[in-house]
Amino acid sequence: MATRRICIYGIEDTVVKQLDGFDVAVSTSTREELRTSIGAEDICALILDLDVHDAIDVIIESLEMKSHLAIVGVTGSSDVNRIIQAQRAGCKQFASRPIDRMDLTTALTGALQDAPAPAVASDVDSRTIAVIGSMGGAGATTLSCYLSMALAERAKTTALIDVDFEFGMVAKSWDLSPRHTIHDLCQFDVLDRQNVEDVMIELPSGVSVLPRPARIQEAQEIDEAALKEIVGLISTWFPFVVLDLPRRLDARTGCAIELCDKLIIVCQQTVAGVINAGRLTDGLLEFGVSLDQIEFVINRYNTKIHSVTEEQLEKRVNKKPIGLVPNHYKSVGAASDLGEPVATRNPVRKAISEIAAALVGDGSPGSGSRWMASLGIGG
């Protein structure tokens, strides 16, 4: 990842100049120097000596000048009241003296994750939808791709971001050979719309794809702060942003879930699929995600093959699935191997189009009941 520029106030310790991924743009010792630096320099974080008498005033003044600044306080004191004052003023993280390089790096990373995104003028009222599978092979990426197409049919354009940085298959699904990826965006000191548009691949369907890194080693170089900034910027001009998530709950997946308006959990009509959908839901609810934010889709639905029903899923997760996608594995798999979408008349695309309509609120219940009934899916 490109180094991120930070500012220092009132600290002389050389450790602050040895932080991996960070570059000290300026070191200041007076309030006047600090004000000038915050106004003139492109910095993302401030590390200050919390033990100086005016530290609280410095925090307040700095955030008044640049509200998205991540602030880390360094202290050798055990004064709890001082820490509370600093937190209330806007200090996000703390490091203790003597300064430990790893401890300070962790504090900086946490502060950047917690800091609000820089205010960017938005052209649209955007909605972000994340998709995750309850088990391997559930078809989450397929749903992400066709959902993006269905949303683009309504809004002319949709962004599809492959957040499975190690093993994502979004680009492969469309037979794309990206020249640039999301990793390249992380190399810019300042990210803007032009940078993003140069990296994204626009498809004839109106879907613009932001691919995963080309090399698996690059995946580890993308942190939550970078993901938050990229998604935030993209959502300023795309009416819909779809995030294809990996099947794991780590810091980056958690960040993506926090950013989304809706999270779709994709499962199949198997005992394992329902159990894992329930486990995932339980974990998300414990993390503070609302059940209203979560939707469920049963993929490869076929009552003649599987005995598990949508009612059993509903009983386990306390919510009806928003959609049932029929089992047309051969046609979808063949299309994916060719890097082409299935035909618009394909029942899979019709089902996912209904899901898109339900998500954006312009679909009527049962609008696709006739074709679902013909497949033995509907009532």
- Mean pLDDT is lowest, of 9-18, 248-257, 269-278, 338-347, for 338-347
Phi/psi at 345 (5° precision): -80, -5
Number of Cβ atoms within 10 Å of the Cβ of 290:
9
- Mean pLDDT is lowest, of 239-243, 282-286, 306-310, for 306-310
Categorise residue 134: left if φ over 0, alpha if ψ from -120 to 50, beta otherwise: alpha
Evaluate whether 5 touches 41 at the Cβ level (below 8 Å).
yes
Instruction: Give all domains of the chain, ordered by start, each with its CATH number.
Output: 4-114 (3.40.50.2300), 127-374 (3.40.50.300)
Categorise residue 172: left if φ over 0, alpha if ψ from -120 to 50, beta otherwise: alpha
Query: Helical H runs in the chain?
Result: 31-40, 55-65, 80-89, 101-114, 140-155, 170-173, 182-185, 193-199, 216-219, 224-234, 251-259, 271-286, 310-317, 329-338, 347-360, 369-374
Q: Among residues of the chain, what percentage have pLDDT more than 70?
A: 91
pLDDT for the residue numbered 121:
56
263, pLDDT greater than 70: yes
44 vs 2: CA distance, rounded Å: 13
pLDDT 10s digits, 73-95: 999 988 899 999 999 999 989 99
378, pLDDT greater than 80: no
pLDDT for the residue numbered 231:
95
Q: Among residues of the chain, what percentage have pLDDT more than 90?
A: 57
pLDDT for the residue numbered 128:
96
pLDDT for the residue numbered 364:
34
Give all strands of the β-sheet with 262-267 in edge-to-edge order: 201-202, 207-210, 158-162, 240-244, 127-133, 262-267, 294-301, 323-326
- Mean pLDDT is lowest, of 213-222, 281-290, 302-311, for 302-311
pLDDT for the residue numbered 199:
94
Q: In the 8-state DSSP scheme, what is residue 90?
A: T
341 vs 333: CA distance, rounded Å: 10
122, pLDDT greater than 80: no
pLDDT 10s digits, 319-364: 999 999 988 777 777 777 667 787 778 888 999 999 999 998 854 3
pLDDT for the residue numbered 362:
58
pLDDT 10s digits, 159-185: 999 999 999 999 998 889 999 999 999
Mean pLDDT over the full length of the chain:
87
Evaluate whether 263 touches 284 at the Cβ level (below 8 Å).
yes
374, pLDDT greater than 50: no
How far is residue 335 from each of residues 62, 234, 328, 331, measured CA to CA in Å? 54, 28, 11, 6
